[in-house]
Amino acid sequence: MTNKWNLIVDVARCDNCRNCFLATKDEHIGNDFPGYAAAQPERTHSWVDIKTKERGRWPIVEAHFMPVMCNHCDDAPCMKVAKNGAITKRADGIVIIDPEKSKGQEEIVAACPYGAVYWNEEKQIPQAWIFDAHLIDNGWPAPRVQQSCPTEVFRSLKVSDAEMQTIVAQQGLEVLQPEKNTKPRIYYKNLHLMTTCFVSASVAVDVSGVEECAEGAAVTLLRNGKEIGRASTDVYGEFKIDKLKPDSGAYELQIHVGSTMKYSTTFELTGDSLYLGVIKLAT
């Protein structure tokens, strides 16, 4: 069974330092690698791009960052529109756009659902991240995005498809735009930080006329009468329930102290995470 290259990208670890972006630029700007890729232009191309997502409202706000690149799909849309064998998929899973055969084929750029293929106006060729195949073929254990990352966002591994699917299931990995069914070889961990919403609030209680943070209150989130999330307030009286589908409609929130329900409210979740404000519990 043939082992193939895959890349795991952990969104939770990315702090937008852009070392991966810069390392790819350093590797490819001004450098031709015959049979792999022509030199990347100094401007306009981001073979490794960083997407940003802000979630929440003050005072509970998050910013997350997600590297995006060629997904080296097993059912690559770019290959379907390419002519004259301009794009090939190697036995190890890496997709290569031939810098000679692809000349003039701008339709390859539009075919990528991830926006990861760029048009080199000067050379009149489409280009994308090649998984640093030229380095891997010369003994490198990983591409430069991994080698250059200080927070261990990337993990490249060469395994069988069956073993990779076991890893996907064990670690809860996801792919971008699964509805496209392109069978990407780039997998994301903690992708919910980019794709889902959370609900949060600050909980306070009156103690002898003084408003204090309510630590340890039990929070339950229900939808259509069914529990879908649970949390406890922290030392600041704050809680967050995550991984909610955007625009998912009506929810009920309950807060219990001990066995007694102290608070209940309903709300509508639209396209963004929601901060419900300061909730004051009755004593």
Residue range 217-260, pLDDT digits in tens: 999 999 999 999 999 999 999 999 999 999 999 999 999 988 78
Evaluated on CA atoms 133, 134, 138, 142, the torsion sign reads negative
Alpha-carbon Rg for the chain in angstroms? 24
Q: What is the pTM of this model?
A: 0.93
CATH topology agreement for domains 4-194 and 197-281: no
What CATH number has the domain spanning 4-194?
A: 3.30.70.20
DSSP string, 29-72: BT--BTTTBPPBPSSS--SSEEEEEEEEETTEEEEEEEEE----
Tokens of 83: 């002519």
Residue type, 41: P
Report the C-alpha gap between 95 and 89 in whole angstroms.
4
Task: Convert the pLDDT of each residue in 23-63 to its tens digit.
Answer: 999 999 999 999 999 999 999 999 999 999 999 999 999 99
At the topology level, CATH places domain 197-281 in Immunoglobulin-like (2.60.40)
- Domain boundaries of the chain, sorted by first residue: 4-194, 197-281
Task: Convert the pLDDT of each residue in 82-135 to its tens digit.
Answer: 999 999 999 999 999 999 999 999 999 999 999 999 999 999 999 999 999 999
> What pLDDT does residue 264 have?
94
The DSSP output letter for 179 is: G
Tokens of 31: 């450098």
Report the C-alpha gap between 65 and 204 in whole angstroms.
32
